[in-house]
Amino acid sequence: MDTKQSERLREPSANGERDPFLAALGERTRALRARRGLTRKGLAKVADVSERHLANVEMGVGNASIQFLRQVAQALNCTLAELVGDETASSPEWLMIREILRGRSDPELSQARGALAAMFGAPASQAARRQRVALIGLRGAGKSTLGRMLADSWVVPFVELNRHIETVAGCSLSEIHSLYGPAAYRRYERRALEDAIQRFPRAVIATPGGIVSEPGTFNLLLAHCYTVWVRASPEEHMSRVLAQGDTRPMNGNTEAMNDLRRILESRAAFYSKADEVFDTTDKTTEDAFVGLQEQLRGTISIGG
């Protein structure tokens, strides 16, 4: 079935109100079409879509398929993100900045991110960052255990950010997720990190494994903490979680291991933004502690 045959129309609600997202999509489609100097008929022809359906989309009542949007975006010489309303396509300045960055290498993008953070993010000085160490990585790498040991050795506070989130929220993590959902958890996570940074100029912070999935929060962490990716093999991650008494990963162990590998793979590029990487695979707790302390010696200025 081709695009024209598969298009489904959506009528306005009984009270005449349009869905806000569809209304905004229609406005952006009209604006992009006008910017390109195309009539509706001309756009429908170039995109090979139904003019009637295009009219419905522009009026905010067309339930457009992904394929329809893809064809319209190609005809308008824009990205799907620009058509559906991604923030980086919301103004001429955003679009021009995006074009400057398009095709740049990872080192160049990292340099650009650092320059923007220095300009707008009010980052801590290098001296201040090196007095607050944050451990990142998947659960089971040893962040909490090593974090406590480092904090005790350096005689500074240890902050388990998950526990700090519960303090800020006034309820447990499970209650946050069940009552308010993952979006609320991420808000509390950001708030807890901000509070920890404000309260503890010298500290060791063990962060949740998923903190890198929220770019704003991760940027804040990188700007104010000297970060260490505490890494381990997927098998070691799994065995340590099981040793902690959490048997949930054993439910469909093969699938659980595959999920863990995918999570690690999807987050690795973010974890690698850390200032240091320390691998705990096949290390005893004491060996890992001594090795990490030695690796950080002379680099940070947190020890008292």
CATH number at residue 46: 1.10.260.40
Same domain, 58 and 129: no
In a domain, residue 19? The reply is yes
150 and 25, same domain (yes or no): no
As a whole number, mean pLDDT of residues 132-145 equals 92
Q: Is the same domain home to 172 and 202?
A: yes
Distance CA 166, CA 163 (A): 5
259 with 155, same domain? Answer: yes
pTM: 0.72
Say yes or no: 128 and 89 in one domain.
no
Query: Which residue segment(s) compose the domain that 189 sits in?
Result: 117-296
Q: Residue 107 domain-assigned?
A: no
- Residue where one domain finishes, among candidates 100, 130, 155: 100
**Same structural domain, 292 and 151:** yes
Q: How far is CA 40 from the centre of its chain?
A: 37
Cα-only R_g, the chain:
25
Kindly state whether residues 163 and 69 are assigned to the same domain: no
Query: Residue 226's beta-bridge partner residues?
Result: 133
Pairwise CA distance, residues 25 & 83, whole Å: 7
CA distance linking residue 108 with residue 97, whole number of Å: 14
Residues 151 and 288 in one domain: yes
What pLDDT shows up at residue 154?
Answer: 94
Do 26 and 139 sit in the same domain of this protein? no
* pLDDT at residue number 4: 43
User: What digits encode the pLDDT tens for the residues 217-257?
Assistant: 999 999 999 999 999 888 887 887 777 665 554 445 667 77
Identify whether residues 89 and 144 lie together within a single domain: no
Amino acid identity, position 10: R
Task: Report the amino acid identity of residue 7.
Answer: E
pLDDT beyond 80 at 3: no
Q: Please, what is the average pLDDT of the chain? A: 85
pLDDT digits (tens, 9 = 90+) for 140-184: 889 999 999 999 999 999 999 999 999 999 999 999 988 888 888
The count of domains in the chain is 2
Q: Which residues contact 9 (CB under 8 A, 6 or more apart)?
A: 53, 56, 61, 62, 63
In degrees and rounded to multiples of 5, residue 203 shows phi and psi of: -170, 165
Domain co-membership, 287 together with 159 = yes
